[in-house]
Amino acid sequence: MVTLDELGFAISDMVDEYAQEVILRLGKKLDETANEIVKYIKSNAPRSGGSKPFADSFVAVSQGSGINKSIVIFSSEKGKLTHLLEFGFTHRSGKYVGPRPFLRPAYDIFTPKMLDDIKSIIEKGDG
């Protein structure tokens, strides 16, 4: 015969186990999405920059772990140019250089799917 205390401990252990699996799946989904975003940026950002193209300077860096994990995507070498290329700028000569967005489209494409996947992982354990 199982006591209520034993049943409670068993259920608590099962919930903890499930929560740890969900956290691992969420981390994996975050990594996958970051890799997709970096791949998109590298294929859509300007290739200027000679032997070290601007597009190839983007990296994804993971910070924290577990439920506190986040990933930051940035240009590791040419970050001061990113906003100029994304939004456009006026050159010193007065010529306007139009925007070539590559960050915002990546966000718009990949974020909704990632959020749906995260919701599914939390609700159903899918993923």
pLDDT band, very low/low/confident/very high, at 123 (cuts 50, 70, 90): confident
Flag whether pLDDT at 2 surpasses 80.
no
> Is the Cβ–Cβ distance between 35 and 48 less than 8 Å?
no
The pLDDT of residue 126? 67
Q: Per-residue pLDDT for 18 more than 70?
A: yes
**Look-up: residue for tokens 């799946």?**
25
Q: What is the dihedral of CA 34, 40, 44, 45, to 10 degrees?
A: 20
- In 3-state terms, what secondary structure has residue 46? coil
Continuous segment of H or E residues that includes residue 54: none
